[in-house]
């Protein structure tokens, strides 16, 4: 897996340190994976940053859908501002309209709050009604990467669409498969999709 960029999904500073020691390029820090992850507590963000590995923080105020109220969006802006002040590497965000299209106006608010931090559009993308148009919208926002399982439960199941997205992106954005990515299937997934960055809870984990 050495030729790939690995991002490990972590819920503690201990996991972040382990990821650093096992070759991860960065971590995505979140809380409560049982509901797909939400924004972690501020003290956890600070602890993870202190490990020295680049930390991307999930900004998601609740589980469920990715259509947010004005109050929820303001909370997301506040959390991003905290992350910027804490020295995190980037934020992981995504907001949709009820029709499954990308909410460009709300996304621009979050990106403005990030002020130059790395931006990953997360698996809200996998709820989009038109993935090809959504990808163009996400590229137009200036996002650095897209985390996706190809609109399926896992990236191996969605690898055909992921391959299409990699081709459509043509280097304008990094397409990063996530969900169900393991040390056992990463090579075949890379061969099938052309992706070179991968996200997972088992990547760069202690092998003992």
Q: With respect to residue 138, please indicate whether it lies within any of the assigned structural domains.
A: yes
Query: Which residues are within 8 A (CB) of 69 and not within 5 positions of it... i.e. 6 or more apart?
Result: none
208 falls within a domain: no
CATH number at residue 22: 3.20.20.380
Assess if residue 36 is contained within a domain.
yes
* 205 found inside a domain: no
Whether residue 135 lies inside any domain: the answer is yes
Is residue 206 situated within a structural domain?
no
Average pLDDT rounded to a whole number, residues 132-152: 98
The verdict on residue 62 lying in a domain is: yes
Determine what percent of the chain is predicted with pLDDT higher than 70.
98
60-85: pLDDT as tens digits = 999 999 999 999 999 999 999 999 99
Nearest alpha carbon to residue 31 among 54, 64, 62: 62
Helices (H) and strands (E) in the chain, counts: 7, 8
Q: For the residues of 44-87, what is the DSSP string, one character each?
A: HHHHHHTTSS-EEEE--SSSS-S---HHHHHHHHHHHHHHHHHT
In the predicted structure, residue 207 carries a pLDDT above the cut 70? no
Q: Which domain holds residue 169?
A: 5-200
Is 26 within a domain?
yes
pLDDT digits (tens, 9 = 90+) for 6-28: 999 999 999 999 999 999 999 99
Total structural domains within the chain: 1
């Amino acid at each position: 897996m050495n030729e790939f960029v690995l991002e490990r999904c972590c819920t503690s500073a201990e996991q972040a340190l382990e990821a650093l020691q096992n070759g991860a390029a960065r971590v995505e820090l979140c809380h409560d994976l049982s509901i797909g992850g939400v924004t972690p507590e501020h003290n956890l963000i600070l602890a993870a940053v202190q490990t020295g590995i680049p930390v991307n923080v999930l900004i998601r105020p609740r589980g469920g859908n990715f259509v947010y109220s004005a109050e929820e969006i303001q909370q997301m802006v506040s959390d991003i501002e905290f992350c910027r002040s804490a020295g995190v590497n980037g934020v992981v965000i995504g907001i949709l309209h009820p029709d499954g299209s990308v909410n460009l106006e709300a996304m621009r608010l979050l990106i403005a709050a990030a002020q130059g931090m790395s931006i990953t559009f997360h698996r809200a993308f996998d709820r989009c009604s038109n993935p090809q148009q959504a990808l163009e919208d996400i590229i137009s926002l200036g996002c650095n990467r897209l985390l996706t399982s190809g609109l399926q439960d896992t990236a191996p199941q969605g690898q055909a669409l992921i391959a299409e997205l990699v081709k459509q992106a043509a280097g304008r954005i990094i397409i990063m498969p996530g969900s169900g990515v393991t040390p056992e299937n990463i090579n075949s997934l890379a061969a099938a999709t052309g992706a070179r960055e991968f996200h997972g809870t088992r990547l760069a984990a202690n092998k003992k």
